[in-house]
Structure 1
Amino acid sequence: MEEPSDGESGRGARVAVFIGAAIVLVSLCCCAGAVAAVVTWGDDAYRRLTHDRGDTVDVGQAGRDGAFEFTVSRIDCGVDQIGDSFVNQTAVGQFCLAELTIRNVGKRPATFADALQQAYGPEGDRYAPDSAAGILANSEQQLFQNQINPGNLITGVVVYDIPRDSHIAEMELHESEHTAGLRVTT
């Protein structure tokens, strides 16, 4: 058997290095593109993906996400303060109170978390719930982090502190952070 000359083995090594460098370069470009996409479109891309998969209902209609069937009965904005004369909280802007019913239509217990329930203004601004104000608004029932057994139903209020010149145009309700979400339009 004849051994390759030094020129042939050197050429093979150069080709291997070239192919390896090309693979590394393509991988870096893909990673940079993914990072740029997340930075540029992050929430909007996620929101579009979940909206394409989730159901959409109007206020007053029932809709499902995961094991939960949600019904938002009404949304009241313009509230300045929540609580009583002893314990209360004043809004930075205005409080919007979303009154809802949650029924577990699944086969296992599931936990309702107010932090997963997002609201959106008319321009697409996303608002997170104000859990402290929510506790004051739900003095008769603990809505937050409440485990709901199959077949059971709870009612309560999710509170958002939003700018005075805005209102809630849409809500996105989730049973868990891994579900598509239910859109509720006002």
Structure 2
Amino acid sequence: MRKTTTFALIATAVLALGCGSGATDKASSSGSDEGGAKAEEKAATAKIGQPARDGKFEFTVKSTKCGVAKIGNDMLGQKAQGQFCLVTVNVKNIGKEAQMFDGSSQKAYAADGTEYSADSGAAIYANKNAETFLNDINPGNQVNGVVVFDIPKNVKLTKLELHDSMFSGGVTVALS
């Protein structure tokens, strides 16, 4: 009986934390509840050079460069399975406490909706100081880094989904 009660309490706490954090992240990333889902998605979409907020981070995509076959040098580097797309992004902590930026929490999408995950291994060679690998950013501070995606040679990325954590709702940045 005691084990069952303990398990039930733990399960309830985990469920409550999960539901609560999702609601908080969603609320902090959307501007308004009015206007339906399309208005919310449109308001949450930024373009290259425009700031976009998700949770404690303000992201500004500076540039993208696709068609890169290899990152690094002859001795230390990585070859793309298809092509590397390098996304240079500025990440600013707009919160009131330190937040960890993790490049592997970022996603890229092709026009057909195919989702691509970031390549953390290749990002090590694209960033001199590991800016996009588990980097704690204090409030008011910002870092510039490169998030790397390894995509097929014939694919063109159309948008990014940037997250302040793996559990956040994310913000969309159009690449075209």
Q: Return the TM-score normalized by structure 2.
A: 0.74
- Give how far 1:54 is off: 7.3
Which SS does the other structure have where 2:157 is aligned?
coil
SS of structure 1 residue aligned to 2:133: coil
Cα distance in 2 for residues equivalent to 1:62 and 1:144: 21
Q: What one-letter code is carried by the residue in structure 1 that aligns with 2:115?
A: R
Change (3 A) 1:184 1:119: same
Partner in structure 2 of residue 83 of structure 1: 72
Alignment partner for residue 171 of structure 1, among 141, 144, 160? 160
Equivalent of 2:107 in 97, 103, 118: 118
> Which of 91, 99, 124 is matched with 2:88 structurally?
99
Query: 1:54 & 1:175 partners in 2: Cα distance?
Result: 18
Q: The residue matched to 1:115 in structure 2 has which SS?
A: helix
2:145 partner amino acid: G
Residue 83 of structure 1 contacts residue 89 of structure 1 at CA under 8 Å; is this kept in 2? yes
Alignment of 1:132-151 (within 5 A): 132-151=121-140
Whichever of the two has the greater Rg, that structure is 1
Contact 1:65/1:175 (<8 A) preserved:
yes
User: Are 1:54 and 1:182, in contact at CA under 8 Å, matched by a contact in 2?
Assistant: no
Match among 52, 64, 76 for residue 63 of structure 1: 52
Letter aligned with residue 107 of structure 1: K
Q: Determine which structure has the larger helix proportion and give its number.
A: 1
Give the number of the structure whose residues are more often strand, by fraction: 2
2:151 to 157, 162, 167: 162
Q: CA RMSD in A?
A: 1.8
- Note closer, same or farther for the CA distance 1:61–1:52 as it changes in structure 2 (3 Å cut): closer
Match of 2:173 in 1: 184
TM-score normalised per structure 1:
0.70
Shift of the alpha carbon at 1:146? 0.3
- Give aligned-pair identity as a percent: 42
Alignment of 1:16-27 (within 5 A): none
Contact kept, 8 Å, 1:54 with 1:181, in 2: the verdict is no
